Amino acid sequence: MRLIAVEEHFLPSEHVREVMAAQGLPPAAVDPLADLGAGRVAVMDAAGIDVQVLSVVAPAAQEVAPARSADLARALNDRAAEAVRQYPGRFRALASLPMPDPEAAAAEAFRAVRDLGFCGLIINGHTGGRFLDGAEFAPVLAAAEELGVPVYLHPTYPPAAVADAYGAGLDPAAAALLTTAGWGWHVETGMHVLRMVLGGVFDRHPLLQVVVGHMGENLPFSLLRADSVLSRLRPGHESVADTVRSHVHLTISGYTTVAPLQCALTVFGADRLMFATDYPFGDPAQHAAFLETAPLSPEDRHKVAHTNAERLFGI
């Protein structure tokens, strides 16, 4: 069975310092992130993964000065394009965008998709505390619509006020993990999607399709509760739950247990769920084994493994 993994990260070693400067320290997995060559392909082969859709690790080009972000995003995208050329058929890529300069971000989206053949865009959460319902980001979302490619909405490090509030009084290491991969990233990304609905993003951008990882960033579990509270804010509109389910796709990245999978399938359906491993933070072999043994019909297993990604990303 063809296997396409759609949230697979990289970070060229020459950009580690600049990309991770906002966090004060580089991510632990620098070596596998930097490898876009034979080592990465060997990991894919060992797990039975045919295609990795590459993206730069968060926050990519979103935490640098606006004047620098466009050059940084271009350099990161050029490196991904080189890997795709070197391993045709094994790699595709999502464009990193200079979100601090939204007009430049829209221009880079056009360059990456039209000139470099990228199959989607990735946006790492908020940009300087601003979310995608902000009017200044309309050119980027309009570019995604015009190009016909999805936007992968990936978690990023929380705004300082959020990290301070939820980290206060905790051991610094515990605070850092609780507000990121241990919980905070995921609720923030689910909330970002709901902000987009309430802020009218999908009314203004009816063709926009968004992908979120981590088995839906808590949306499958909480969508109907949110719907019952929030839909009354939008009388005369499609319900919040239906809006989310017609604009948002999920990936399993980082999740290899059955209960959340069943919740995602029940609430979103098998046509909106895709395989991803969050490499190198997730274990590709473990994710592949999970998909192989998960309680899915043969038809749904094919949808999650490759058919949905082929259709959405044009792979």
How many angstroms separate the Cα of 284 from the Cα of each of 36, 93, 278, 290? 15, 18, 8, 10
Question: Quick one: 27 or 134, whose CB is closer to ligand GRE?
Answer: 27
| Residue 8 sits in the site that holds ligand GRE (CB under 6 A) | no
Among the listed residues 5, 47, 53, 58, the single contact to ligand GRE using CB under 6 A: 58
Restricted to residues 220-259, the positions that interact with ligand GRE (CB under 6 A) are 254
State the nearest-atom distance from the C-beta of 165 to ligand GRE, in Å: 21
How far apart CA 188 and CA 45 sit, in angstroms, is: 34
State the nearest-atom distance from the C-beta of 278 to ligand GRE, in Å: 5
Residue 66 binds: one of Zn ion, ligand GRE, none (C-beta under 5 to 8 A by kind): none
Task: State the number of binding residues for Zn ion (CB under 5 A).
Answer: 2
Q: Quote the radius of gyration of the chain (alpha carbons, Å).
A: 18
What's the distance, CA 18 to chain centroid?
20
Residue 57 binds: one of ligand GRE, Zn ion, none (C-beta under 5 to 8 A by kind): ligand GRE
Question: Quick one: 104 or 155, whose CB is closer to Zn ion?
Answer: 155
| Residue 94 sits in the site that holds ligand GRE (CB under 6 A) | no
Helices and strands per DSSP (H, E), number in the chain: 17, 8
State the nearest-atom distance from the C-beta of 236 to ligand GRE, in Å: 37
Angle at 253 between CA 248 and CA 257, to 5 degrees: 110
Residue 245 binds: one of Zn ion, ligand GRE, none (C-beta under 5 to 8 A by kind): none
Question: Quick one: 91 or 185, whose CB is closer to ligand GRE?
Answer: 185
The two structure tokens encoding residue 157: 């490090």
Which residue reads 């829209």 in tokens? 106
Query: Helix (H, G, I), strand (E, B), or coil: what is residue 211?
Result: strand
State the nearest-atom distance from the C-beta of 55 to ligand GRE, in Å: 9
| Residue 105 sits in the site that holds ligand GRE (CB under 6 A) | no
The two structure tokens encoding residue 212: 């979120």
State the nearest-atom distance from the C-beta of 280 to ligand GRE, in Å: 9
What are the residue ranges of helices labelled H in the chain? Answer: 16-20, 30-34, 38-47, 66-86, 102-110, 138-147, 160-167, 172-178, 184-198, 201-204, 214-217, 219-230, 240-247, 258-268, 284-293, 298-302, 308-313
Restricted to residues 239-278, the positions that interact with Zn ion (CB under 5 A) are 278
State the nearest-atom distance from the C-beta of 87 to Zn ion, in Å: 21
Contacts with ligand GRE by CB under 6 A lie at: 9, 27, 57-58, 155, 181, 254, 278, 281
Contacts with Zn ion by CB under 5 A lie at: 7, 278
